[in-house]
A and B are shown apart, each in its own frame.
Chain A
Amino acid sequence: MSAARPYASILAVLALGAVLPLVTSSNILLNGMVVTLIVALAGYGWNLLGGYGGQFSFGHAAFFGTGAYACALLQQHYGLNAWVAFGAAVALGAAVGGGIGYLSFRSGLRGSYFALVTLAFAEVFRIVVNASPFFNGAAGVLLKLDTRPGNLQFASRASYCELAVVLVGIALVATRAVERSRFGAYLVAVRENENSARALGVDTFKVKLKAISLSAALTAAAGAFYVQYFLLINPELGFGTSVSIQALLAPIIGGLGTVFGPLVGAIALHELGEFAQGLLGGLPGADMALFGLSLILVIAFARGGVLSLVQALRWRVPGKPIEARP
């Protein structure tokens, strides 16, 4: 088997994503695409830790917000170049992930306890940022409009789209690479049975720490990109619970612990949100209610998410051989 084959489908999807912004000039479509890709990217972060590692975080907003605020403030307070700030924001996100992971995993937190503690961290971040003048409190941070590629700001939405495709592409490739590595095998082993993993020589603490750092880095990148696109971040947009929920919904609805799950889930969520908007107008919270409903449906009828449904349908097509693996 050639080494490139596992990446062929990823390249195909990315090529499609890269072509899309070139063939449309609809701002609504392009905007929808950017927003969807941001959710997907945040979801890729969550998927590494939750989908592959089985550690369900309820507080990925902590990383998203860290990425967004770090990227914005490093430019505004310290005059850093936007690209440099972006890189630093990702690194800081990884560090925050490592810190939260160290504290939670060292004390042996698992399952709902881990979920609650991550939720608590995100909430503490939100409250602190909301109250602190350094972060400009509830008003949030506005980035100065200065559209230059060197400043990581673009005049055209299509350019943002292309950059988002690149970022999601990195997440896709990273996910596939993890899947095919020893670290990935250990991560899945930790998800399936920590005791057995330890018996086979897996340092489960180290594996989880590595996973949460990588996970946080990806989600922080989503946050940093968000602020470059909207030029605005505030405590609710950065650290709000709905950010954490979207980061976990995308992979769960798309397909937990799969390479394309978060992307498929983010697209499904976006379409669902549009649908809610059309159906119920501006009714606040309508999209969240619909997200909740879809989550219930996925958990009740399609544990493997949309991707598993697609696969099941494919198997029913007559004439196609049924694969041995479920």
Chain B
Amino acid sequence: MTFILEVQGVTKRFGGLTAVDEVSLAVEAGSITGLIGPNGAGKTTLFSLISGFERPSQGHVMFRAEDITALPADRRAVLGIARTFQIVQPFAKLSVAENIAVGAHLRHRSRDEAIRSAREIAKRLGLGPILEKPAASLTVAARKRLELARALATEPVLLLLDEVLAGLNPSEMRDIVPVIRAIRDVGITVIMVEHVMQAVMNLCERVVVLNQGRLIADGKPREVTRDQRVIEAYLGKGAAARLEAAHV
């Protein structure tokens, strides 16, 4: 079994707050993993540690068996780690095509080739009709897609998706789920942070749960959602017992 990513005993403290607390996690190449947990659990921080936007206070991050803990974010992108931002950060004044082209330039030096690759990816993600619109004018749903398209344009090996479904209506969600599955199907390893459980159950073969910075569960989606500690993390202490009682 080959692990593309290994997070080894990683801790991140912000002052007195421990956002990520000794998390260890190994991810198989080609898999799609859900990362869930209540608000403030440390999911985004863990993504920042993997993508290089934050340095761990403790622990290591290994990518393809190489220690990348000290590498800055842009070097990790070159290695093939791409992320989307939970709060989308488009290049506001640039068009959709130009936004994606910045990502495409990572593997294409020539401008024409980068633009061509950007257009292709945009079409795949349903952004074809709005290629020339400035990013600032897009709807929330389109911005989320743009965020995804830009990350994809870097031709990543590992893709970290931070709540790409948040803020979408049910029909927009239905549209994007197959897009994510298609990404996995071409062999890109995906880790997705998602609050929309239906999508997680639908897409992920494995789910890990963070709560207050700690990894509290790891397994198949069905198992994890039945895990007592997970239910309590979401619904409060004793909730699992109360649910159990209600079912009897």
Contact = CB atoms under 8 A, between A and B. Distances in A.
Interface stretch (B31-39, B70-78, B165-173): B70-78
Contact of A182 (B114, B150, B154): B114
Nearest to B153: A200
Contacts of A188: 91, 94, 98, 102
Contacts of A180: 111
Contacts of B72: 198
A181 interface: yes
B193 interface: no
Interface string A300-326: 000000000000000000000000111
Interface stretch (A69-77, A105-113, A156-164, A201-209): A201-209
Interface string B96-120: 0010011101100111001000000
B88 to A, nearest CB: 9
A195 B89 contact: yes
A185 B105 contact: yes
Chain A interface SS verdict (over half): helix
Task: Give the most central of B72, B74, B83, B93: most A CB within 10 Å.
Answer: B74
B185 interface: no
Given A199-B51, A200-B103, A181 B111 contact: yes
Contact of A200 (B75, B98, B154): B154
A197 interface: yes
Contact of A201 (B95, B109, B154): B154
A201 B78 contact: yes
A206 to B, nearest CB: 9
Nearest to B150: A200
B91 A193 contact: yes
Given A182-B114, A185-B111, A325-B132, A198 B95 contact: no
Nearest to B79: A201
B217 interface: no
Contacts of B197: none
B132 A182 contact: no
Chain B interface SS verdict (over half): mixed
Contact of B89 (A182, A185, A193): A193
Task: Give the most central of B53, B102, B132: most A CB within 10 Å.
Answer: B102
Given A182-B114, A185-B114, A199 B83 contact: yes
B148 interface: no
A261 B107 CA distance: 32
Contact of A199 (B77, B92, B109): B77
Interface in A132-146: none
Interface residues of A, number: 22
Given A192-B91, A195-B89, A199-B83, A185 B102 contact: yes
Interface string B123-136: 00000000010100
B89 to A, nearest CB: 4
A185 B108 CA distance: 12
A201 B106 contact: yes
Nearest to B160: A199
A196 interface: yes
Given A195-B89, A200-B150, A324-B132, A189 B111 contact: no
A199 B89 CA distance: 10
A225 interface: no
B49 interface: no
17 contacts: A182-B105, A182-B109, A185-B102, A186-B105, A189-B91, A189-B94, A192-B93, A195-B85, A195-B89, A196-B102, A197-B102, A199-B82, A199-B151, A200-B151, A201-B78, A203-B74, A203-B75
Given A201-B78, A201-B106, 17 more contacts: A180-B111, A182-B111, A185-B111, A186-B102, A188-B102, A189-B102, A192-B92, A195-B53, A196-B85, A196-B90, A197-B74, A199-B73, A200-B153, A201-B74, A202-B74, A204-B74, A326-B134
Interface of B: 51, 53, 72-75, 77-78, 82-83, 85, 89-95, 98, 101-103, 105-106, 109-111, 114, 132, 134, 150-151, 153-154
